[in-house]
Structure 1
Amino acid sequence: MEVATHVPKKVMVVAELTRESASALQWALSHAVVENDELFLLHVEQPISWRNTISTFLRKPSSPVFGAANSSMEGSGGEDVDFVDVMKKACEIAQPKVRVHIERVEIDQGKDKALAILLKSRMLSIDLLVIGQRRRLSNTILKCKLNGMSTKGIDTAEYLIENSKCTCVGVMKKGHNGYLLNTKKQRNFWLLA
């Protein structure tokens, strides 16, 4: 009798200091990665952004997803802890047999975040791209097609879903018991946690 072997895959989660990103990571850890996979946490930084200025004051995320990892890193001498490092530690606790890497991309103000994510995912030959998604009224009403358009004014998650060479999943946490998932082929797919 032959035993099926798992071919390790590369999964990338867009790491941001948002609730949506924490939900995407939580979904990826519980539903997308398995033993021997590689998980890449990609953080896109804009060095002269007002968000980066504010995020330096918010180094430790308050999400319960990172509770164990955050508490284990607090005793490290009182220095600031980067939220991406906390995410990595949470991943290592949740999935100890998955290799976790941190990738950072720095883009200039006004440059396209979605294109930077696509480029990095292609460079690393990513099999599955996961991004936290926030439902916006304008996206729901307009439902604009993204064929060859610039990403300016378009939701980053929607652009990635439509234009990624690999499978891209937009994840929205719905209550305490489920996720709403979006891919190129499947929209608003409800998944119980």
Structure 2
Amino acid sequence: MEGVTATATARKIMVVADPGRESAGALQWALSHSVVEHDELILLHVQNSASWRNSFTFFRRPSQNSSNTSVSSESSHGGGGGGSVSGGGGGVDLEFLEVMKRACEAIQPKVRVHIERVDMGGKDKASTILNQCKALSVDVLIIGQRRSISNAILGCRLSGGSTKGMDTAEYLIENCKCTCVGVQRKGQNGGYVLNTKTHRNFWLLA
């Protein structure tokens, strides 16, 4: 897929990071199929200052009796090329972005990983992400996508510079200047469905 396969040139790859299985699946795909040595991986979390909480408890450090933890504590686990990060600490809650970062560093130790938090500032989420892509000169944007029949049929046809009626992932795929990949994880061993501006519903085995 254009703009997704590994190249010798270091790239800036941004993954939209949220405390949910769609975001975890996108990060798993990025780590196992897109990010290569010397790339820079940016975990972007878009927050709303009106409702954002300082920390989340969706991700937990495992007890010392647990051997490892995956990128997500939910049912979506990494596919081929993925991995896990070891840890202990008796179930201490960790901020989910830090857990994601640690998992990335364990799976891809030669990739620079850093976290970006940005407030929506009254704008919609998609526009905020587009602004960050431009400001940081991102080469590839990756976002988890929850597919529905209406999105699959109508999403790629909606336009007009507005996010109304279009989910965030579809809007970014259509309007992002860099390559944008929407990732849907299909169960633990079911592979991925990928969407870009030029490739729709591209199936990739885990």
TM-score by length of structure 1 reads: 0.84
User: Which residue is 1:39 aligned to?
Assistant: 41
- Does structure 1 residue 179 correspond to structure 2 residue 192? yes
Aligned CA distance change for structure 1 residues 130 and 46 (closer, same or farther; 3 Å): same
Matches within 5 A, 1:63-78: 63=74, 64=77, 68-69=84-85, 72=87, 75=89, 78=92
1:76–1:39 distance in 2 versus 1, CA, 3 Å: farther
Count of residues in correspondence between the two structures: 183
Q: CA RMSD in A?
A: 2.5
Cα shift at 1:120:
0.2
SS at the partner of 1:97?
Answer: coil
Question: 1:104 aligns to what SS in structure 2?
Answer: strand
The equivalent of 2:66 in structure 1 is none
Note the C-alpha offset of 1:154.
1.5
Gaps spanning 5+ residues in structure 1: where?
none
Q: 1:144 to 1:35 in 2, by over 3 A?
A: closer
Q: C-alpha deviations, 1:143-162, integer Å up to 9, x for none?
A: 46233331133200000000
Segments of structure 2 that go 5 or more residues without pairing to the other structure are 1-6, 61-71
Q: Read off the aligned partner of 1:23 and give its amino acid letter.
A: G
* 1:135 and 2:141 matched: no
> 2:73 — aligned with what?
62
What residue number does 1:158 align with?
Answer: 170
Q: Which residue of 2 aligns with 1:83?
A: 96
**Secondary structure of 1:185's aligned partner:** coil
- Please report how far the alpha carbon of residue 76 of structure 1 lies from its aligned counterpart in structure 2 after TM superposition: 9.1
Q: What is the identity, as a one-letter code, of the residue corresponding to 1:102?
A: I
Separation in structure 1 between the aligned mates of residue 55 and residue 146 of structure 2, nearest angstrom: 19
Q: Which stretches of structure 1, 4 residues or more, deviate above 6 A after TM superposition?
A: none
The answer (yes or no) to whether the contact 2:14–2:43 under 8 Å persists in 1 is yes
> AA paired with 2:127?
L
Residues in 1 aligned to 2:49 and 2:90: alpha-carbon distance in whole angstroms: 26
1:57 is displaced (CA, Å) by 4.7
| C-alpha separation in 1, matches of 2:152 and 2:42 | 30
Q: Cα offset for 1:178?
A: 0.8
Q: Structure 2: which amino acid aligns with 1:170?
A: G
Structure with greater helix share of residues: 1
Identity %: 61
Residue type at the aligned position of 2:105? E
